[in-house]
């Protein structure tokens, strides 16, 4: 059986590819969900990984929920209301938590339509770049549902409440150029340039010391919800730890000596 999630690593960069093009990379497949959770756990445990890319195989990034599963009342759509709650928590919500809690910078390379949970998954990533063929839709209402994976929390933080409300209440798709103007993505490329662009960005990120990258990401995430004085306390603790690292000394010495630093994660 073909792997439903491809895991490749080149140097310090991991690429995760949703590999179910026959379903447009629908996220209601239990095997795919489990593979994503395992892959992200593996990334978090590996200090050699400094950045990761998430993309989709085929023409879509992810269609979100599988319409056949909805029609058949299977996968997370089966059972009564209590069953559905448990299935969401153990299925797509577990994936959402894993993606959100990825410790390294995570780039969504959005190669095509990102609908429903697929749109929300891009918002769980730190940086989004899009192919000119990409579209984004918070289209749950179109199938008589609401976002069950945290989209109501994620999307307003990317595009603001008014635009998030427009996307949520209409279900209308947003093209790549509109997504760029709204700040949902930071760059739009031609389709064949998407992965080279994502890899180039990941390589620039991965040039930096790995532990400091993880701490910098954690501070950004904490800053979404934490009081400023609380964030300053955490930043002071992290900064004190950074001062004691070999990578900090190496960075300073390399700058003074006008050479490329060699970071070792200590």
What is the average pLDDT value for the chain, to the nearest integer? 92
Q: What is the pLDDT of residues 4-21, one digit of tens each?
A: 999 999 999 999 999 999
In order of 20, 49, 79, 105, the CA distances from 58 in angstroms are 8, 26, 32, 24
Q: Which DSSP string do the residues of the chain spell out, in sequence order?
A: ---SEEEEEETTEEEEEE--GGGTS-TT-HHHHHHHHHHHHHHHH-TT--EEEEEESTT-SB--S-HHHHHHT-GGG-S-HHHHHHHHHHTHHHHHHHHHT-SS-EEEEE-S-EETHHHHHHHHSSEEEEETT-EEE--GGGGT---SSSHHHHHHHHH-HHHHHHHHHH---EEHHHHHHHTS-SEEE-GGGHHHHHHHHHHHHHTS-HHHHHHHHHHHHHHTTS-HHHHHHHHHHHHHHHHT-HHHHHHHHHHHHTS-------
More confident call, 148 vs 124 = 124
> Percentage of the chain with pLDDT > 70?
91
Handedness of CA 98, 153, 81, 169 (dihedral sign): negative
Q: How far apart are CA 52 and CA 36, in angstroms?
A: 13
Tell me the pLDDT band of 83, cut-offs 50, 70 and 90. low
The partner residues of 14 in beta bridges, in order of sequence, read 9, 52
pLDDT at res. 36: 96
pLDDT at res. 52: 98
pLDDT at res. 28: 84
The partner residues of 62 in beta bridges, in order of sequence, read 114
pLDDT reading at 106 higher than 50: yes
φ/ψ of 115, rounded to 5, equals -115, 145
Q: What is the pLDDT of residues 128-181, one digit of tens each?
A: 999 999 999 999 999 899 998 999 999 999 999 999 999 999 999 999 999 999
Q: What is the pLDDT of residues 232-255, one digit of tens each?
A: 999 999 999 999 999 999 999 999
Q: What is the pLDDT of residues 46-77, one digit of tens each?
A: 999 999 999 999 999 999 876 676 566 656 66
Q: How far apart are CA 105 and CA 103, in angstroms?
A: 7
Domains of the chain and CATH, by start: 5-206 (3.90.226.10), 210-257 (1.10.12)
Enter the pTM of the model: 0.92
φ/ψ of 56, rounded to 5, equals -125, 150
pLDDT at res. 201: 98
More confident call, 5 vs 86 = 5
More confident call, 84 vs 228 = 228
Q: What is the pLDDT of residues 27-45, one digit of tens each?
A: 988 899 999 999 999 999 9
pLDDT reading at 1 higher than 60: no
């Amino acid at each position: 059986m073909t792997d439903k999630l491809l895991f490749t690593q080149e140097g310090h960069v991991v690429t995760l590819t949703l590999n179910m093009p026959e379903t447009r990379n629908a996220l209601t497949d239990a095997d795919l969900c489990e593979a994503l959770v395992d892959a992200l756990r593996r990334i978090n445990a590996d200090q050699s990984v400094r950045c990761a890319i998430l993309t989709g195989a085929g023409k879509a990034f992810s269609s979100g929920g599988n319409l056949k599963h909805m029609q058949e009342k299977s996968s997370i759509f089966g059972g009564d209301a209590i069953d559905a709650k448990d299935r969401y928590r153990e299925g797509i919500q577990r994936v959402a938590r894993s993606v959100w809690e990825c410790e390294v910078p995570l780039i969504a390379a959005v190669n095509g339509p990102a609908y429903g949970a697929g749109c929300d998954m891009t918002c769980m990533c730190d940086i989004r770049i899009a192919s000119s063929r990409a579209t984004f839709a918070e289209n749950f209402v179109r199938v008589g549902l609401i976002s069950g994976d945290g989209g109501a929390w994620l999307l307003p933080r990317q595009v603001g409440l008014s635009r998030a409300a427009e996307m949520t209440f209409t279900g209308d798709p947003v093209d790549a150029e509109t997504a760029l103007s709204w700040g949902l993505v930071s760059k739009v490329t031609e389709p064949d340039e998407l992965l080279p662009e994502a890899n180039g960005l990941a390589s620039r990120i991965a040039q930096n010391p790995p532990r400091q990258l993880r701490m910098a990401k954690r501070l950004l995430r904490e800053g979404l919800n934490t009081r400023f004085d609380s964030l300053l306390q955490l930043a002071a603790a992290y900064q004190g730890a950074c001062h004691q690292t070999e990578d900090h000394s190496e960075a300073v010495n390399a700058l003074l000596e006008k050479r490329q630093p060699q970071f070792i994660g200590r």
